[in-house]
């Protein structure tokens, strides 16, 4: 099953009144548990990687695993950067394979939130990647007790939300209507009237952060009023930790694999409970039909050099690899030299774009224009360049 376009996935959920879970993963146990739950209940799923967790794992390594698991899954999957803090982190996430981005500047004054979010949406749109912004402030720390949250809730208003979406161009909006990240004491009071008003004003898929601790009825009322994506982590973390505590009490001298035994299944059971409760269970087939596969483009150039030596050509390509791989939407830049001396073309570039939209934005990107005009085209008059859409797995 290919990774699928997240805009189509969330629009399907919004139109059909269910919510897709965006489950934050922090290890391979979480990844496997989340994917196996989605497969058991034939649910679309969002693998979510939160920037606030990057101290706990290597983002690049876990992204590679998430992408591989998504490609092998039998259900539609999307991969999301959660709580991205800057333009740089959004570019890094896209170039590592995220096909949806959250930019979170909700703790900043409105004008600064709008300015950063707009920068991210402009960059991401040129890569074909949808963006979630957040307006209003959802306090708390995922995985922690909610009373440790820094700051108070700031509620989203419908008027500000309309202006924010108009000025930033976000595809999905995370709203603050009473949830907090992390473990809450007592039942949160949700302002459903406020949510209804925001939904009527915007008519785009809405997102709830701080899913842990809400009642079944609260989830249903959120979904009835436009919530199509629910971010969820603390309850998964607590299920994993509870499993480990029980392993330790059964066997206090057990090694790592004994202490973590069963974590994957505990995470999976809680994920499955959410998928059934939020109505995404059973929607995998419909989402596959309603979405486009997320398939990359290979930008292939074969060329000969005329005025420089082979070793100078290799130096020029090494410089190009460093410059071009930092451009938004570029997955990799590979270069090669023909094995046979008499090959019709001696050298090649293989530049992988995340999406066909990058064909234009890459061509016009100032770093690409400078490299191509100053270092590449003057020495490589004899060349062929073709963009190939790659088949999805």
Check if 82 is active-site. yes
Given CA atoms 52, 53, 58, 62 in this order, what sign does their dihedral have? negative
Q: Rounded to whole angstroms, how far apart are CA atoms 280 and 13? A: 8
Catalytic residue among 5, 24, 82, 171: 82
Q: Rounded to whole angstroms, how far apart are CA atoms 77 and 228? A: 15
Given CA atoms 350, 297, 329, 385 in this order, what sign does their dihedral have? positive
Q: Rounded to whole angstroms, how far apart are CA atoms 38 and 255? A: 30
Q: Rounded to whole angstroms, how far apart are CA atoms 187 and 192? A: 14
Given CA atoms 266, 267, 269, 270 in this order, what sign does their dihedral have? positive
Q: Which residues bind ligand 13P (CB under 6 A)?
A: 24, 50, 82-83, 142, 181-182, 209-212, 231-234
- The gap between the terminal CA atoms of the chain, to the nearest Å, is 7
Q: Rounded to whole angstroms, how far apart are CA atoms 274 and 211? A: 10
The encoded tokens of residue 343 equal: 């090959």
Give the residue numbers marked as catalytic. 82
């Amino acid at each position: 099953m290919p990774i699928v376009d997240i805009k189509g996935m969330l629009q399907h959920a919004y139109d059909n009144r269910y919510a897709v879970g965006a489950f934050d993963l922090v290890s391979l146990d979480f990844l496997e548990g989340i994917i196996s739950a989605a497969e058991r209940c034939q649910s679309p799923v969002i693998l979510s990687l939160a920037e606030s967790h990057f101290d706990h794992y290597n983002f690049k390594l876990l992204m590679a695993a998430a992408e591989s698991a998504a490609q092998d899954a039998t259900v539609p999957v999307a991969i999301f950067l959660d709580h991205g803090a800057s333009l740089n982190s959004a570019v890094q996430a896209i170039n590592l394979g995220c096909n949806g981005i959250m930019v979170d500047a909700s703790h900043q004054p409105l004008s600064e939130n709008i300015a950063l979010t707009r920068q991210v949406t402009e960059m991401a749109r040129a890569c074909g990647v949808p963006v979630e912004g957040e307006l209003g402030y959802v306090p708390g720390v995922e995985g922690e007790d909610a009373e440790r949250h820094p700051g108070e809730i700031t509620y989203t208003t419908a008027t500000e939300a309309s202006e924010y979406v108009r000025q930033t161009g976000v595809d999905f909006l995370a709203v603050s209507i009473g949830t907090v990240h992390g473990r809450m004491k007592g039942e949160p009071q949700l302002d459903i009237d406020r949510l209804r008003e925001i939904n009527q004003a915007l008519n785009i898929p809405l997102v709830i952060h701080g899913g842990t601790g809400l009642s079944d009825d609260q989830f249903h009322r959120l979904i009835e009023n436009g919530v199509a994506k629910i971010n969820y982590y603390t309850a998964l973390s607590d299920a994993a930790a509870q499993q480990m505590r029980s392993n330790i009490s059964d066997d206090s001298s057990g090694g790592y694999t004994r202490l973590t035994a069963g974590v994957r299944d505990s995470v999976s059971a809680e994920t499955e409970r959410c998928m059934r409760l939020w109505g995404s269970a059973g929607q995998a087939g419909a989402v596959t039909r309603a979405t486009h596969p997320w398939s990359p483009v290979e930008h292939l150039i074969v060329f000969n050099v005329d005025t420089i030596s082979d070793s100078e050509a290799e130096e020029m390509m090494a410089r190009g690899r460093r410059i071009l791989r930092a451009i938004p939407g570029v997955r990799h830049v590979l270069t090669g030299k023909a094995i046979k001396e008499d090959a019709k073309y001696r050298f090649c570039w293989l530049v992988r774009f995340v999406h066909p939209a990058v064909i234009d934005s890459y061509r016009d990107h100032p770093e690409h224009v400078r490299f191509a005009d100053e270092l590449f085209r003057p020495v490589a008059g004899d060349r062929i360049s073709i963009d190939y859409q790659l088949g999805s797995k």
